[in-house]
Amino acid sequence: MKILIQNGSLVLPDGVKKGDVLIEGGKIAALLDSGSKVGDAEIVDAKGLLVSPGLIDLHSHLREPGFEYKETIATGTRAAAKGGFTSVCCMANTKPVNDNAAVTELIKLKAKREGVVRVYPIGAATKGLKGEELTEMGELQESGVVAVSDDGRSIVDANRMRLVLTYAAHFNLPVVTHPEDLNLTNNGAMNEGYWSTVLGLSGITRAAEETIIARDCHLAALTGARLHVAHVSTAGGADIVRLYKAKGAKITAETTPHYLYATDDWVDGYDPSTRVNPPLRTKDDVTALIAALKDGTIDCIATDHAPHHFDDKNLEYALASTGISGFETALGVCWTALVAPGHMTGEQLLSKMTSAPAELFSLPGGVIAEGGVADITIIDPSEEWVVDSSLFLSKGKNTPFNGKKLTGNVVRTFVGGERVYERGV
Ligand SMILES: [Zn+2]
């Protein structure tokens, strides 16, 4: 079947241009002038809309196997499609942990049978995420993992982290670090500062994040391995990444939509949906992270989609599980935080969610090009909408953005030429 996406503004590698996209056989068959006639094609009208490469998320938690009450591959990928994502990488902190080829194969099989977007598993760096014995990274890579990570926790032992990096470098696999010194976190509930004092909650110093970013950047420089720093949330964290990139270390970094928009004063009222790890920081951090995105220190935006069951969140603030159900608000939050106020163009933002992440983990897609996969997201950049988490396709309704008015929304998502999401349908 042929589909012709007509009269849109195409987000191409060399800029935004008016035009049509012809999809055939799961591929982008041709890029045509606006208003082209193609005999037997189904027409999708994209007038006034952006036709973007499908969004790519390097960091999510699909919770399956083991935590299906929080999310499944079926629900998580539908939520991803609604958020405009056509490819998502899923972390290894499932039950059992994805620390061997059998679990990777299971995730891939489930994704193929029950999922609607492309799913790329990330394997554990150490068995059982225990920070001790290394996983069989070669075997994991052969079974399809695109990176290794103990995300959810840091590898406490610095020498063990050095070994992880050295071993992963043999396979040219990126190692994703979850930068958190648990001794410094010290069971804190929110960012340490004015608001933790006012609210009487135990604080988490930004040094908990920054010391591990510094340690792991230094070890990446030492070993020559590829290090990807997950969810940078502080100005200081971005500064350390910038420093080590300048030294030539193979370091890349992500931040998330929530660290670009929400701040620790949102915790006022003790809403557990604002509890996230690392914690929401301050306006100065948001400003520094935006600057780091713009100057290339932070390469991409990932969601860290972390859906939870109502019972995991409906607790006293410090006891609530950490995390935000992020797929379905990512684009709107980023557009509202970055494009609407003029910090970045829409095209610059989309590169941080498409071509940049594709390149970091060598994934297909990320660009609209003739002959490439037809992974496409159609976006209304001017639509204003109010987040209603009860309408989420994700099982996780945990979001601090519920009730917030956002600008920029996803209209349609295609994966391999198949329509996997259409608004209002
Ligand atoms: Zn993490």
Of the residues 338, 360, 382, the one at which a domain ends: 360
CA of 61 to the centre of ligand 1 (A): 10
Predicted confidence (pLDDT) per residue in 316-359, tens digit? 999 999 999 999 999 999 999 999 999 999 999 999 999 999 99
The answer to whether residues 281 and 217 belong to one domain is yes
Predicted confidence (pLDDT) per residue in 201-220, tens digit? 999 999 999 999 999 999 99
CA of 109 to the centre of ligand 1 (A): 25
Predicted confidence (pLDDT) per residue in 352-409, tens digit? 999 999 999 999 999 999 999 999 999 999 999 999 999 999 999 999 999 999 999 9
The answer to whether residues 67 and 122 belong to one domain is yes
Active site residues: 304
In a domain, 367, yes or no: no
Which helix or strand (DSSP H or E) is residue 138 part of?
helix 137-143
Which residues are within 5 Å of ligand 1 (an ion), measured at CB? 151, 178, 230
Residue range(s) defining the domain that contains residue 329? 54-360
Taking phi over 0 as left and psi of -120 to 50 as alpha, with beta for the rest, 292 belongs to alpha
At 110, list the tokens: 């489930």
The answer to whether residues 176 and 295 belong to one domain is yes
Of the residues 335, 360, 385, the one at which a domain ends: 360
The answer to whether residues 341 and 377 belong to one domain is no
Is the pTM for the entire model greater than 0.85? yes
Q: What is the CATH number of the domain that holds 96?
A: 3.20.20.140
Of the residues 313, 333, 360, the one at which a domain ends: 360
The answer to whether residues 26 and 106 belong to one domain is no
In a domain, 368, yes or no: no
Ranges of the chain whose pLDDT falls below 50:
none
Say what the pLDDT of residue 39 is: 86
Say what the pLDDT of residue 425 is: 65
CA of 418 to the centre of ligand 1 (A): 31
The answer to whether residues 219 and 262 belong to one domain is yes
The answer to whether residues 192 and 278 belong to one domain is yes
Which residues pair with residue 376 across a beta bridge? 53, 414
CA of 60 to the centre of ligand 1 (A): 9
For every residue of 360-393, DSSP letters joined together read HTT-S-SS--TTSB--EEEEEEEEEEE--GGG-S
In a domain, 145, yes or no: yes
Q: What is the CATH number of the domain that holds 403?
A: 2.30.40.10
Interatomic CA distance for residues 12 and 134, integer angstroms: 41
Which residues pair with residue 222 across a beta bridge? none
The answer to whether residues 156 and 63 belong to one domain is yes
What are φ and ψ of residue 296, in 5° steps?
Answer: 90, 0
At 239, list the tokens: 């500064």
In a domain, 37, yes or no: yes
Q: What is the residue type of 122? A: I
Say what the pLDDT of residue 35 is: 87
The answer to whether residues 45 and 72 belong to one domain is no
Say what the pLDDT of residue 398 is: 96
Q: How many domains does the chain have?
A: 2
Pairing between β-strand 55-60 and β-strand 50-53 as defined by DSSP bridges = unpaired
